[in-house]
Structure 1
């Protein structure tokens, strides 16, 4: 009897344990009954918020899904602009689950890797289409905010562009068809080319970097280098030309100053010579004989102070020796 009671208690505890499940913060729970999502009378799935909940043991299972915003880095890829120029765009996006039941069915039991694979392919196609409508200037300047918002809206709402569906569109449409089959068409109509068909909402799209391909960057660098070298040559040429002008002006100024100085020197020398001549004339007029005597003495001094072996042959009767022969000639002469 006692053993039966213990077994009953254990059975009750096991059943109670199997009936209780916990949903953690940042998660949502979906109850599956025989691998199908449990829905209410209005065909709405039962989504469990964080906390303690109950389920039918051994019949129902719980699948928890991450309800937080996810960040997905997109590998840098090459895109073609409206002018047929290549750009390397590095970007990322943020997304979250907004329809847990649809997400669970469309991604194969809530496989996040499958969801991100389809989201990445769809994002790449959408970004390529949007970049193809813009030129490089529009992409790298003020159009970047509009570009990312257009991509986000197109991912969430889908598009109705002509030109055929891409592989990503086909994959999403197949997932949407699977959801419609599982729910017997009781789900609201959703554009099969949008991420809403997977139960996903794209919260934000950001472009981290926009670069030119290596070969184009090298060509631009070489062109910029050639332009700078040409500009440097032009500046050097202008500098040399300006230096020649300055040198010519300086030479002209120096020549003018030198000529003016020489002219002033000649004038001063002429004035000095005139003054000396005047002084000599005044001295001669005061005592002509004495003036002649002084001049003769200076001539004697210059003649005999030579240190060489110069020989002068002069006649004794020459006037050069006048004051040597007759010093009395120095006496003042009286008028007759």
Structure 2
């Protein structure tokens, strides 16, 4: 009785083991291939529950979602032979499981190593065709787009991997050349500053000269207008005086004589020597003034 129970238990255990090794599940986020003694018999197993022959078939699963390759910093040279330390990353995913398994044995680490080699070569070639300015700012986006497009054709054909995107995270100058580049940039900025100051001084001189010329012209025009107005005023005053004096010339002569007397004897001690017959005192000699 005990022997029969052990046999049944052993049979049940064998059924469980065989069933466990016969069934497998492929998730929505996975891709899988089936191998028979190392030979691929199904390069793209459908998602869901599947059956295989225990100890004969082996199911290898790979990630279906987009993966990230974060590569270590590499040094590349520009067309001017300037070294740059470049830190980049890449987005990739498996599209052909048969090629992927054949090229990498289904190992993500090996796949990332192959991708890193291809990307390093591509970046080295792209950087070698461009100047420092183009790589850093001018054509950086275009460079990444071209690199992704060109490398994707290779990775799909050789590894069954779609290269979704390649991006540069950081570009640094090596420490031994950073100081010299900084000094050169500083000198360039100082030169530009001197040019701006020189241009500013030149413009200031032009503006100042224009203002001085305008001031001179305005002052000359004002002086001319003032002289014209003054001349017209003097002429008008002379006309009025003449008109007033012509109304009574004798009275005008009398007033002029009084003014002359006042001016001649305005201070103490003034002495005036004249001929007795002089016309200067003619209004004092005769009461009528004639």
The match for 1:112 is: 108
Cα shift at 1:150: 2.3
Q: How does 1:1-336 map to 2 (within 5 A)?
A: 1=1, 3-4=5-6, 7=9, 8-31=11-34, 36-39=37-40, 44-45=41-42, 47-57=44-54, 60-75=57-72, 77-85=74-82, 91-100=88-97, 103-104=100-101, 106-107=103-104, 110-134=106-130, 140=139, 144=143, 145-157=145-157, 196=158, 199-208=159-168, 213=173, 214=178, 216=181, 219-220=184-185, 222-284=187-249, 288=250, 290-298=251-259, 310-312=268-270, 329-330=287-288
Contact kept in structure 1, 2:100 and 2:161, CA below 8 Å? no
Q: 1 or 2 for the larger relative contact order (CA 8 Å, sep ≥6)?
A: 1
Contact 1:22/1:50 (<8 A) preserved = yes
Q: 1:255 to 1:16 in 2, by over 3 A?
A: same
Q: Give unpaired runs (5+ residues) of structure 1.
A: 158-195
Residues 220-241 of structure 1: CA deviation (Å, up to 9, x unaligned): 4642452243033213212312
TM-score, L = length of structure 2:
0.71
Q: CA deviation at 1:282?
A: 3.8
Give 1:112 shift: 1.5
The CA distance in 2 between the partners of 1:97 and 1:9, in whole Å, is: 40
Shift of 1:280: 2.2
TM-score by length of 1: 0.63
Change in 2 beyond 3 A, CA 1:205/1:221: farther
Q: Which runs of 5+ in 2 are unaligned?
A: none
Query: 1:141–1:29: structure 2 CA closer, same or farther, 3 Å change rule?
Result: closer
CA distance in 2: counterparts of 1:123 and 1:219, whole angstroms: 31
- For the Cα contact (< 8 Å) 1:123–1:155, is it kept in 2? no
Aligned residues: 276
* Higher helix fraction (1 or 2): 2
Instruction: Give the root-mean-square deviation of aligned CA atoms.
Output: 4.1
Superposed displacement of residue 321, structure 1: 6.8
